[in-house]
Amino acid sequence: MTKGKFIALEGGEGAGKSTQARLVAEALRARGLEVVITREPGGTQGAEAIRNLVLHAEGEGWGPRAEALLFAAARSDHVEKLIRPAIERGSWVICDRYLDSSRAYQGGGGGLSDADIRTLHAIGSEGLLPDLTLLFEVSPEISATRLARRDVDGTDRIGGREAAYHTRVADAFSRFADAEPARFARIDGNGTPEETSALAMAALEQLLSA
């Protein structure tokens, strides 16, 4: 049986990833493919429990190192129980955030070295990388407008960090895409959801015809 493909969606807060996960999955299904949509942190029971610990911790919360370990542990469970089995049975996996979020948030934002984040990923998930990572890029004004609409009830522990943290995250994503152009497709996320998903599908064309 042919293996499926693994696509990660990345970007800062308010980049529109969750909407795009849905639209891209619909477009792939319309082509007759089996598609699993999932997200990080989360996707399995254990990883969802860790999500809750990380994003909605009571009290003082976690330092960047503990946070990186928790994300890596959640990813390990997710890869072992959901992502790898789905790829093995020929499904496409669309994952809302993956390793590059740890590199951007705990690395770029939190100050851990990229080598340390990659070591955690090697231990936790045997270094599994997506076939392609779609990086959704939006202007700060558009992301602020979307977040104001989405987070009316308040944001989570990471989303609520200061603007400088999120600027470091956005800069880190941009550096990763520059450094590994074959692994990333940069997608302009400033347009309507339909315009953006058309760009995302165009970026997947090569994998679809492979």
Q: Considering the complex, what minimum distance in angstroms separates the CB of residue 48 from ligand TYD?
A: 11
CA distance 39 to 18: 9
Of 48 and 199, CB closest to ligand TYD = 48
Using the rule CB under 6 A, is 197 a contact of ligand TYD? Answer: no
- The SS3 of residue 158 is coil
Position among 4, 23, 35, 41 found at the interface with ligand TYD (CB under 6 A) = 41
Cβ atoms 128, 84 nearer than 8 A: yes
- Per-residue binding string, ligand TYD, 66-95, x by CB under 6 A, is -----x------------------------
Cβ atoms 72, 123 nearer than 8 A: yes
**Nearest residue (beta carbon) to ligand TYD:** 105
Using the rule CB under 6 A, is 97 a contact of ligand TYD? Answer: yes
Of 86 and 104, CB closest to ligand TYD = 104
Of 155 and 201, CB closest to ligand TYD = 155
β-partners of residue 94 are 7, 37
- Per-residue binding string, ligand TYD, 114-153, x by CB under 6 A, is ----------------------------------------
Cβ atoms 142, 41 nearer than 8 A: no
For residue 133, count other CB atoms closer than 10 A to its CB.
Answer: 24
Cβ atoms 140, 166 nearer than 8 A: no
Which of 161, 56, 47 shows the shortest CA–CA distance to 104?
Answer: 161
Residues that bind ligand TYD (CB under 6 A): 13, 17-18, 39-41, 55, 71, 97, 101-102, 105-106, 156, 158-159
